[in-house]
Amino acid sequence: MDLVKEINRLRKEKNAIILAHYYQDGAIQDIADYVGDSLGLSQQAAETDADIIVFAGVHFMAETAKILSPSKKVVLPDLNAGCSLADSCPPGPFKKFTEQHPDHIVITYVNCSAEIKALSDIVCTSSNALKIVNSIPKETPIIFAPDKNLGRYIMKETGRDMLLWDGACVVHEAFSMDKLIELHKKHPDYKIIAHPESEEHILDTATYIGSTSGMINYVKEHQDQKFIVATEAGILHKMQLEMPNTELIPAPAVEDNTCACSECHFMKMNTMQKLYDCLLNESPAIDVPEPLRTRALLPIERMLELSK
């Protein structure tokens, strides 16, 4: 069976849109209607007039799409495609944490569950985190969750003191400093660019720190340079597609693996076959109970309003 042909046929028949994150497998990115970062994907989900949203990403992303577009059917190729960062912030303990600091504004990174979003005042992505934090009056104390590495980076950049939840992404904590130094010694003319979910010692080596879309734009603006890229390796597909003559190397992970890079096994759970199956069967579908959805929607809408 020609999966590309069949997916295209079903997409047309069912008036479906395929949204894919930059960390997805290259073949999935190639067939998607839109490939982007969390902010761009949220905006697409909010604006689409498709009947079905096929979300080639992880669970919290599909859940965010459902929160924004409750009348659409939202399907995820593999329901087990979770997120280590979202898992690091369970709703019960987080609720207690926020109740212990009632005077704090709660800003949560989009990489969290609907339950966590519902406990938040405003949501952010790595694209707009600095802007969102800077929009809060200086005298207002802030809780930032779930990513402590992104939180520390924001504190450094804004000079704000924030109370951080102790969460992290395993993919961005897997980079090996020793291997990165070795790699840079072999390629001293390569610039390091990094995602702010990475640990501080990795960020300290970077020429540029930014979201996935920010990193792609930076490479686009400096195509004559060479780069070591410290984020999930799936991003190299889009970079190479748009900048075929730019030399790129993924930052090495601590673990010795086949790609010599850091990959998100959750993101890679989605395959072309699963994409076809979920479009054909319109399942697994994402459901967010209405009371939870309306509470989670408010902080997301605040973010989208500030991101215009």
Instruction: Please write the tens of the pLDDT for every residue from 24-69.
Output: 999 999 999 999 998 899 899 999 999 999 999 999 999 999 999 9
DSSP 165: P
120-171 pLDDT tens trace: 999 999 999 999 999 999 999 999 999 999 999 999 999 999 999 999 999 8
Q: Name the domain count of the chain.
A: 3
Region 109-126: what's the mean pLDDT? 97
Shared domain check, 236 and 250: yes
Shared domain check, 105 and 118: yes
For 283-302, the three-class secondary structure string (H helix, E strand, C coil) is CCECCCCHHHHHHHHHHHHH
Shared domain check, 181 and 151: no
State the Cα angle at 69 between 87 and 21, rounded to 5°: 50
Q: How many CB atoms lie within 10 A of CB 50?
A: 19
Shared domain check, 259 and 181: yes
Q: Which of 157, 272, 176 is nearest to 228 (CA)?
A: 176
* pLDDT recorded at residue 272: 98
Reduced to 3 states, what is the DSSP secondary structure of residue 42? Answer: helix
Residue 237, marked binder: no
* pLDDT recorded at residue 101: 98
Residue 264, marked binder: yes
Shared domain check, 153 and 182: no
For residue 173, count CB atoms less than 10 angstroms from its CB and return exposed for 0-12, middle for 13-18, buried for 19 or more: middle
224-240 pLDDT tens trace: 999 999 999 999 999 99
Residue 112, marked binder: no
* pLDDT recorded at residue 38: 86
Shared domain check, 161 and 302: yes
Shared domain check, 93 and 76: no
Question: What's at 179, amino acid-wise?
Answer: K
* pLDDT recorded at residue 95: 98
Residue 258 has pLDDT above 70, yes or no: no
* pLDDT recorded at residue 260: 63
Chain mean position to CA 110: 8
Shared domain check, 221 and 272: no
Maximal CA-CA distance, the chain: 61
Residue 289: both structure tokens together: 């109970």
Mean pLDDT of the chain: 95
Residue 74 has pLDDT above 70, yes or no: yes
Q: Which domain holds residue 92?
A: 85-170+296-306
pTM of the model: 0.93
Residue 126, marked binder: yes
Report d(CA 119, CA 92) in Å as an integer: 10
Residue 38, marked binder: yes
Shared domain check, 226 and 212: yes
The CATH number of residue 115's host domain is 3.40.50.10800
Shared domain check, 114 and 36: no
Residue 128, marked binder: no
Residue 110, marked binder: yes
Residue 88, marked binder: no
Residue 197, marked binder: yes
Chain mean position to CA 60: 9
Shared domain check, 225 and 212: yes
* pLDDT recorded at residue 255: 82
Q: How many residues does the chain have?
A: 308
Q: How far is CA 248 from CA 55, 123, 171, 195, 257, in A?
A: 27, 32, 19, 15, 18
Report d(CA 244, CA 201) in Å as an integer: 30
Cis geometry, peptide bond prior to residue 299 (ω within 30 degrees of 0): no
Shared domain check, 301 and 165: yes
